[in-house]
Amino acid sequence: MSEARYLIVNGDDFGQSAGVNQGIIVAHERGILTSASLMVRWPQSSNAAEYGRSHPELSVGLHVDLGEFAFRDGRWVPQYYVVDQGDATAVQREIAGQLAEFRRLMRMDPTHIDSHQHAHRSEPARSIVANIARTVGVPVRDSDPRIRYCGQFYGQSSEGTPWPTGITVDALIEILGELEPGFTELGCHPAIEADLDTMYREERMRELTALCSPRVRAAIDEMGIVLCPFGTVIC
């Protein structure tokens, strides 16, 4: 069995804001980012798609958006709802509509599918996304045996408290050193400015700094890790 280690560095929330778009672009052009997941419902999605179409080396997938929650006063509360996530019919219709909009914007199928705040890990979205992915022939985050998902590069705890040590250059290099042979997707959320009303804001700029660090690039070279987009797995 090959001991080669392949790394897909995927930026979530592409299209959600101008700051996120620029962060993903900078992380791709000056850093280690190889892939992005497009949120098609947001005003900056067309600009994100335009960049993706003109940079085919960047794999672009669908970031299904069913809503967002924030941890407030000891509990998770909604920031916004797109649809009732327990209504299978409504979820099916919404995801199909977002896929259609992705195809309109990108003029192609997504290279992969995942979701905002991992909504696709729960039913009914889980089965709906899995069926769509089988039809399209693309991997789903955390569901494809060929690709491990790593969400360790993140600047908050599971309850939304700051964890800045999780998104330092040293933390990222440590994650790289623990990669197993085969394909791994590393999730990230870079942005060039905090222009979103979300619980994850300033952390995005810190992520960008680490993703563009020369030390991180040097570590990847020294470890023999191969950076790649999602298309490499499919091929």
Q: What percent of the chain has pLDDT over 70?
A: 98
pLDDT band at 231 (very low <50, low <70, confident <90, very high): confident
pLDDT-based confidence at residue 168 (cuts at 50, 70, 90): very high
Q: Which helix (H) or strand (E) holds 206?
A: helix 202-211
DSSP 31-96: SS--EEEE-TTSTTHHHHHHHHHH-TTSEEEEEE--EEEEEETTEEEEEEESS-TT-HHHHHHHHH
Q: Is the pLDDT of residue 21 over 70?
A: yes
Residue 150 banded pLDDT, cuts 50, 70, 90 = very high
Q: Write down the pTM of the prediction.
A: 0.95
Run of H or E residues at 25: helix 18-30
Helix (H) or strand (E) holding 147: strand 147-150
pLDDT of residue 88: 97
For residue range 62-98, list pLDDT tens digits in order.
999 999 988 887 788 888 999 999 999 999 999 999 9
Q: Which residues contact 89 (CB under 8 A, 6 or more apart)?
A: none
Q: Write down all domains in the chain, each with its CATH number in brackets.
A: 5-234 (3.20.20.370)
Bridge-based pairing state of the strands 113-115 and 59-64: parallel
Looking at residue 175, its amino acid is I
Whether the pLDDT of residue 187 is over 60: the answer is: yes
**Taking all residues of the chain, what is their mean pLDDT, rounded to a whole number?**
95
Do residues 17 and 192 make contact, with C-beta atoms less than 8 angstroms apart? Answer: no
